[in-house]
Chains A and B, each alone.
Chain A
Amino acid sequence: MIENHIASKLFRFFLRRLLLLVCLGLGGALISATLVRFAPGYGVEERELDPRWSAQSIEALRQKQVLQEGLGSFYFHYLSALVRGDLGESASLKRPVRELLRQRLPVTGNSVVRGLGVAWLAAGLFASLGLASRGWLYEASGTAFSSLLLSLPSAVVAMLAVHLRTPVFSAIGLVVFPRLYRYIRSLLVRSYDQPHVLAARARGLGSGAIFWRHVLPVAAAPLLALFGVSFAIAFGAAIPIEALCDSPGMGQLAWQAALSRDLPLIVNVTLVVCLVMLAANSFADLAGRAFARSTQ
């Protein structure tokens, strides 16, 4: 009975999150459409600047433009195209945005997932080793190293990766690692200082049992929340890293779109990244709640 109640609560939470995602996607699409519609130069064709075209031809071209439609009609056309999966055409690359996203998203997804894997493994390992040793030298060197990495701009890490010819995911991992390390370390220190852990240690429990049974359940929920946040950090780092490492992913696409002021492309890239981030955060949130309920 209680299990059914918990499951229905989680399901309701999942549905609420899904509804929120749909609403945000719709709102984001409308904002994107507004930005594209009111951007300087919207609706002006390059051919209009060609002196060989007569005034009548230019007028005919203009008649074709969506600009001639009312605002309501523009939004309707935009959203109906969106439902069909048509995100418009990139002004600079002259290719459908949908096709570009389909090509670039897996590249970034792959780099981000592998980079996050490396960063989580390294951060978890170093934080646990630090707690196990509890030596001042290890702690001081760990803190100094993570502070040094935190002080480096992601673009410099990218240039270093280019120089050392290391893969893109390792650069992403290096950017994410210090942020995870510091948080995980502080979280584990706090969890180990809890009275119930002290009591378990006093009763002679082994360090493995203390970690799995008493520390991890306390730290799991914040760690799952951190998982969602780490996605945002990794995607943010992907822009300078992909741009400078010449990796054909979403980050490089966003950078190229910003440099060429390709508004239809950049707003759609941002919208897709925003939805991916929200989905990752919702998943982390849901997992955290499910874990908390199960331990209760």
Chain B
Amino acid sequence: MSPLQKGAALILCVIFAFMVLATILVPAPYARQFRDVPNAGPSTAHLLGTDALGRDSLSRLLYGTRVSLLLAPATALLSTLIAALLGCAAGFLGGWFERIVLAVTDLSLALPWLFLLLTVRAMLPLDVPPMVSIIIAFLMMGLLGWQASVRVICAAAHGVRDSDFLLLARSSGCKPARLLLRHIAPNLRPLFYAQFWISIPLFILTEANLSILGLGVMEPMPSWGNLLRGFEDFSALAANPWRLVPLILLVTVVMCFQLVLPSQEVTP
């Protein structure tokens, strides 16, 4: 690891620690309204001030960080699991199954990701409790975000399929399921980890976009996307620069993830 990567990893660890300790660190619950001090500036009582509804901005930021930073890795885990399952099976079995999986993957990759998410989101109810909106966002992104990883994993599984150790295992009478789980999957584990890490910043940004558009995590539950909705009034930001903190945090985390990621081929 280079010093830059170490620094990025350290920053991520610190932010994760703040996220875990949010319950202890926050001065007030994220939805509590201090109605006498709406739009207040930083003070000892409210370190990052309050929003238009009088809610403590620091509390909302810490809880929002928790939501976004738990949602993104969970989504990445789900999508990587689906990609691993489909990619390994397609690469190992080959034939028509591989062709179908790759055709569906290509078709999905050709379609802009946000259009797909919007179509699926339109089928689900919008007036849902905040917790349900988190689950919907998590499942939607996880179930639809596996395509890019499938291609990589399928190609790697294809390479492993013709290896000597697999031939030996097959000649020893190993069943296909055992071959997949005990021989192919463990050999592709580094690739799974890489795909998992690569997906996290993508899902952080997607959640932010969806929430800014009012289709992600619902109020009053905070998330980075929800907190960025206040940016529509840029003139207010110039007068209250501390409101930029959620954006700075988001950009820092995404950049740190990009730096820490295992070395990869640059893809658009």
The residue that B118 contacts in the complex, of A185, A244, A258, A277, with Cβ under 8 A, is A258
Q: Which residue of chain A is the closest to B267 with respect to CB atoms?
A: A183
Assess whether A259 is in contact with B268, with CB atoms less than 8 Å apart: no
Assess whether A274 is in contact with B110, with CB atoms less than 8 Å apart: yes
Output the least CB separation between A41 and chain B (Å): 11
Residues of B within 8 A of A257 (CB): 118, 122
Fill in one digit per residue for A215-241: 1 if any B CB lies within 8 Å of its CB, else 0: 000000000001001101101100110
Q: Which residue of chain A is the closest to B211 with respect to CB atoms?
A: A155
Residues of B within 8 A of A152 (CB): 251
State in angstroms the CA–CA spacing of A269 and B225 once bound together: 25
DSSP majority for the B interface?
helix
Q: Which residue of chain B is the closest to A150 with respect to CB atoms?
A: B258
Report which residue of B255, B266, B267 has the largest number of chain A beta carbons within 10 angstroms of its beta carbon.
B266
The residue that B250 contacts in the complex, of A151, A159, A185, A274, with Cβ under 8 A, is A151
Interface residues on B, range: 35 or more
Contact of A254 with B258 at beta-carbon distance under 8 Å, contacts A24-B107, A155-B209, A180-B268 already known: no
Residues of A within 8 A of B225 (CB): 153, 155
Fill in one digit per residue for B193-212: 1 if any A CB lies within 8 Å of its CB, else 0: 00000000100010011001
Output the least CB separation between A51 and chain B (Å): 23
14 A–B pairs (Cβ distance < 8 Å), ordered by A: A147-B258, A150-B254, A151-B251, A153-B205, A153-B209, A154-B205, A155-B225, A156-B212, A156-B228, A186-B265, A261-B126, A273-B111, A274-B107, A277-B111
The interface of chain A, by Cβ under 8 A from chain B, is 24, 35, 39, 147-148, 150-156, 159-160, 162-163, 179-180, 182-183, 185-186, 226, 229-230, 232-233, 235-236, 239-240, 243-244, 254-255, 257-259, 261-263, 266-267, 269-270, 273-274, 277-278, 281
The interface of chain B, by Cβ under 8 A from chain A, is 107, 109-116, 118-119, 121-123, 125-126, 201, 205, 208-209, 212-215, 225, 228, 231-232, 234-235, 247, 250-251, 254-255, 258-259, 265-268
- The list of the 9 closest CB pairs from A to B, nearest first, reads A236-B112, A163-B234, A151-B254, A155-B212, A153-B208, A179-B268, A186-B266, A258-B118, A258-B122
